[in-house]
Structure 1
């Protein structure tokens, strides 16, 4: 359980930006300039370049290739491309710097598809209904299609090595599959108990030996069973139970492996719980907000946590992405560039940018804090 809960000190967006800019240097310069005082009038040393500092929250690119609301966004391992899916079933891969479309995934199913991109870059996976599709990450050619759960997939993630894929579903199980053959490897039934709820989020440990998974009715009520568990990906046995009393909409394992982030609604307040996968010790980042956390994404450095705040009941103009310091000491910034509702956020593997998608049919690339 938590040792303590530290309240997040919320600053205004302007104050947060100024704080970050003060640490990082002069913010917002888009071109190289020169310090004219560094050169003598008699032709001394050349002017010293003033290196532009990225401005956190700055929108770098807006991708408008979709004709319906965005469902999922994922980055290629090299941080050069983004794959995005929409409500109509189109899965598009495009250049994250120029917005130029590279290809559309072939034979994609109709309707919303959740996406994942393998760390080796070879595969893009999509979950639609009770099916998983595997596409070539460089061409979009369909490589494999297999049926997984009869009640529909809610979440999916590649193993760190890219050879296995885990899927969570409405039937309250997590399944592990071999990517290239579709062979079933393991079923985890830790959430499949009386009073349980669908498995809505899962994340692999960086070494691939464990998974953290969570269950929730996503805004509903009635579930009473354990909602967050860490378990072994070879045996399917529980390593430990983190939370036995609260549903959790989202979980994410930090790239460093030292922390897990999970959403929790406690006493009328949304929180991001940060805790050790070894002994569950940690603390909570309190978010005093009427909206629900629906997605969590770690910075590659494991220093920041980004998350989507959105509404289950309908369009809410307050829907946005927020970033918090993983140290639990201060509010960093929020990103409100979308029209609501925001549906997904993903951090680029090089740590420089984030991609977010919303019901406004756009994917936006924006500058990460440095």
Structure 2
């Protein structure tokens, strides 16, 4: 099979091989390189890749492959740069408190949702409002781009509907009706063909992106569904509920494959790691658990917080898991052995949201103390406090490069913070 070209996937690191099959059709094969680091023997890794995909890559391509591996490593190491963030733009975003924010993959646009019943689309570089998506009859609580494509937006509302929009024109494609209570979580599958919504009616539902038709209802929880996440391949979805359980479902059939039932209080977050073999669940019971997807067995119970855990997040490769708590701290755990590798102390209120940078070396956290903090994992330290909001911060997000941060607050504003070494936004100031 003749190789057409190499493509790089920076986060998490990997190489995508484009080739022509026996029928002359274009195919792809992905080589994950999740352990790539500065200490990696790139010559040995190149030899291993050539051995594993010898039908696509010959020794004559080794020098090119080595150059690509070094480029990937360089990109990962950028996350270790000692760069501080400064306030780039302050946006008077909505007339009521913000609920959420999210970047598209390119990072040139982001979206905000609000109690004012709208979603707004913004240009990151200028801070200019590009679109106001109107039509919901209650709070816009959750939202997402269909990354990596970025041409669609979904918004979930307390009005019990989800809307699908064109992210460039603001055209409303579909209004998804079927839930009987507030929608509080949603997601596109990675292929951008299916939308999942979770609601206070104890169900999650799957919808066809193109037609807006309901594909199936995921029924089985006895409490509100407050969190959901697709795996990378899009054939499984996990839901977390106030009934103290998480459930793993077959996306094609809607069948419940595993019910994860060892928590003693409401679930706050449930998500897959990158490889899809583990699910993490955080709970009001002050613990976070890691589950084997195939068996449904709890492999680690992560303890240490002395108050409710409100959110959890994997790094890009899935080797680390961070938890945010009402005890004002963040804990970071090694996923493989369950050990706590960092305790991040400094917030003076509940920590409600967190996210790793793409390289997995930094973490940002949003808090009721009106600040967002930037942390290093090793050593465990607060690198910077992003101050200026006059009320609690509900949401924060890194862009794909990890050099721009947005924060969304109850004070009706959104702030754009730019790294001193930012390359994704030209410096026009």
Shared fold, TM over 0.5: yes
> Counterparts of 1:258 and 1:348 in 2: how far apart (Å)?
26
Aligned counterparts of 1:351 and 1:77: Cα–Cα separation in 2: 11
Q: What secondary structure does 1:138 align onto?
A: coil
| Higher relative contact order (Cα pairs below 8 Å, separated by 6+ residues) | 1
Partners of 1:255 and 1:175 lie apart in 2 by 23
Deviations 1:139-185 (A, max 9, x none): 22222213121222221111111111111112211110112222111
What is the CA deviation profile of residues 71-130 of structure 1, one whole-angstrom value per residue up to 9, with x for unaligned ones?
A: 121211222211001111131111224322222224344433421211221210111221
Partner Cα separation in structure 1 for residue 228 and residue 263 of structure 2: 18
1:356 to 397, 404, 407: 407
1:144 is aligned to 174
Equivalent residue of 1:249, what SS? strand
Superposed CA deviations along residues 223-249 of structure 1, whole A, max 9, x for unmatched, are 5xx511212111222222223443211
Number of aligned residue pairs: give it.
301
- Deviation string, structure 1 residues 48-81 (Cα, Å, up to 9, x no partner): xxx9935367655443322221112121122221
Counterpart of 2:101?
73
Q: TM-score, normalised by structure 2?
A: 0.60
Q: Is the 8 A contact 1:265 1:271 kept in 2?
A: yes
Change (3 A) 1:271 1:254: same
Matched, 1:251 2:267: no
Residue 305 of structure 2 is aligned to residue 288 of structure 1: yes
- Equivalent residue for 1:125, pick from 154, 177, 180: 154
CA distance in 1, matches of 2:106, 2:231: 20
| Mapped partners of 2:349, 2:96: distance in 1 | 20
**1:13 counterpart residue number:** none
Indicate the RMSD between aligned Cα atoms, in angstroms: 3.6
Report the CA distance shift for 1:208/1:260 in structure 2 as closer, same or farther (over 3 A): same
Give runs of aligned pairs for residues 1-370 of structure 1, distance below 5 A. Answer: 53-55=81-83, 60-119=88-147, 120-128=149-157, 129-191=159-221, 196-216=222-242, 223=243, 226-246=244-264, 247-266=266-285, 270-279=286-295, 280-286=297-303, 288=305, 290=307, 292-302=308-318, 305=321, 309=325, 318-320=349-351, 321-322=353-354, 331=380, 333=382, 337=387, 338-366=389-417
Q: Which runs of 5+ in 2 are unaligned?
A: 1-37, 39-77, 328-346, 362-376, 420-429
Q: What is the CA–CA distance in structure 1 between the aligned matches of 2:275 and 2:378, rounded to whole Å?
A: 19
Shift of 1:189: 1.2
Distance 2:230 2:348 in 1: 33
Cα distance between partner residues in 2 of 1:229 and 1:132 = 22
